[in-house]
Amino acid sequence: MSEDGGLRECLCGSFYLIGDCEKVMTIPKPKPIAPKGWESIKSSWWTKLLGKPTKADILLHYDTRPVYEIEAEQLSVPDSKQVPDSLMPKVFNQENANTSLLIVARRRYWRHLNDAFRDIYREHRKAFGESFPNYQPNDEQAGNMVKLIELLQKPHSTNWIEIAELYRELGDFSASSDALATYRGRETSLKLLIGNLVELSVSSPTRYRP
């Protein structure tokens, strides 16, 4: 899936994940429309020498149907609309949304709400160097992060580093440390970074470069 989590909006207004779809068929890549007057093209050695398509080439590699017929077929293919971050509340308030859909929506909204802090972070670094600006999530941010933690905390979860980061941004450093301790994967630079920030009691969203 792409960075948008594979989230799409159906023509009916419902939201879904591409990964949850059942494959019915694959729409073949459309052929280019045949050039005007292709029916009159004469196939000869000279045509081939000039590198121009012969009538046989056009029949094989081009769509020779009338243009109106091609356009009508294209209109019948449903769009797969990407969903902007600002619409995430509409997504996770959808009736009967499954856990996978809710996780993608809550995760994207978490990052979206943190975007405004990027400018504060950059300006602070310019003015004060290697230190961190104060950060306090508002009620909307905190509520969304708590909901995301609830969705990610399940038996045999593999999301403990992400959970640790969410707790850290909420200022719950003890819970963040517990989540890092629960993680059983390999040591990563991200885990070490979160651990160091927890030790420093830093809760602000922080730039990470792997």
Query: Using one digit for the tens of pLDDT, what is the confidence trace for 43-83?
Result: 666 666 666 778 888 888 899 998 888 888 777 666 667 89
Q: What is the 3-state secondary structure (H, E, C) of the chain?
A: CCCCCCEEECCCCCEEEHHHCCCCCCCCCCCCECCCCHHHCCCCHHHHHCCCCCHHHHHHHCECCCHHHHHHHHHHCCCCEECCHHHHHHHHCCCCCCHHHHHHHHHHHHHHHHHHHHHHHHHHHHHHCCCCCCCCCCHHHHHHHHHHHHHHCCCCCCCHHHHHHHHHHCCCHHHHHHHHHHCCCCCCHHHHHHHHHHHCCCCCCCCCCC
Distance CA(79)–CA(84), nearest Å, equals 15
Query: Using one digit for the tens of pLDDT, what is the confidence trace for 120-152?
Result: 998 998 999 888 999 999 999 999 999 999 999
Domains of the chain, by residue range, sit at 38-76, 85-199
Query: Using one digit for the tens of pLDDT, what is the confidence trace for 78-114?
Result: 666 789 999 999 999 998 899 999 999 999 999 999 9
Q: What is the mean pLDDT of the chain?
A: 88
